[in-house]
């Protein structure tokens, strides 16, 4: 084979690799839909208990995994004095408050996963959450918000001689980390040195 054609093939193979790297699956995190909100300034002195998220029957284990990811994101951001997992699935405010009290928590979070689709990477992935935070001692609802994130596969790159597949869509655990980070950001008090609040809206 002439050296010119070998050079062209090597160059084109490099281009294919570069194009594939530059076409990743996209992640979109919707603005948080907040229905009830409270002042976050007292959060750093509080202990939060996170109950196992209620999960759809078709994806067992998702509730435990998403709750653990939220705990990790809250600890990373130091949103609360302590953030612990409560290995219970609760169905009501009363149940959540009871288990929060049993674990000596000031606040308790319980959440539902109304929808999750975790494709193989070739299809879109989506995760929706309904999250509530309650004051254990007063029985008052402090926060209620809904979150949504989705990921699409990267576009295929069509050449004359071949088609290169785009990057796969992110899995639901990656989306859970994005939503956990979003919640941690909203629940973190603003930087007093600037006086501004970094809202995720």
Confidence of residue 190 (pLDDT cuts 50, 70, 90): confident
Share of the chain above pLDDT 70, in %: 77
CATH number (domain holding residue 109): 3.40.50
pTM over 0.85: no
Domain contains 196: no
Domain contains 192: no
Domain contains 195: no
Over residues 141-162, the pLDDT tens digits come to 999 999 999 999 876 666 667 7
- The DSSP secondary structure of the chain, one letter per residue, reads --HHHHHHHHHHHHHHHHHHHTSPPEEEEPPPEEEE---GGGGGG-EEEEEEPB--TTSTTHHHHHHHHHHHHHHHHT-SSEEEEEEEE--SHHHHHHHHHHTT-SEEEEEEEEEEE---SSS-EEEEEEEEEEETTT--EEEEEEEEEEEEPPPPEE-SS-EE--PPPPPHHHHHHHHHHHHHHHHSPPBTTTTB-----
Domain contains 45: yes
Domain contains 143: yes
Domain with 140, as residue range(s), is: 3-187
Domain contains 53: yes
pLDDT for 66 beyond 80: yes
The count of domains in the chain is 1
Over residues 94-110, the pLDDT tens digits come to 999 999 999 999 999 99
Give mean pLDDT, residues 21-37: 81
């Amino acid at each position: 084979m002439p050296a010119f054609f070998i050079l062209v093939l090597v160059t084109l193979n490099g281009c294919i690799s570069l194009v594939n790297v530059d076409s990743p699956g996209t992640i979109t995190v919707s603005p948080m839909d907040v229905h009830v909100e409270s002042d976050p300034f007292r959060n750093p002195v509080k202990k939060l208990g996170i109950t196992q998220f209620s999960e759809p029957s078709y994806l067992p284990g998702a509730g435990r995994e998403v709750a653990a990811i939220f705990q990790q994101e809250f600890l990373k951001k130091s949103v609360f004095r302590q953030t612990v997992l409560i290995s219970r699935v609760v169905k009501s405010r009363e149940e959540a408050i009871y288990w929060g009290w049993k674990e000596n928590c000031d606040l308790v979070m319980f959440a539902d996963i109304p929808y999750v689709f975790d494709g193989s990477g070739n299809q879109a992935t989506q995760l929706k959450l309904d999250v509530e935070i309650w004051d254990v001692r007063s029985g008052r609802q402090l926060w209620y918000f809904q979150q949504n994130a989705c990921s699409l596969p990267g576009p295929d790159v069509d050449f004359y001689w071949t088609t290169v597949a785009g990057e796969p869509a992110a899995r639901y655990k990656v989306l859970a980390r994005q939503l956990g980070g979003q919640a941690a950001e909203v629940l973190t008090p603003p930087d007093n040195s600037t006086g501004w609040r970094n809202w995720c809206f």
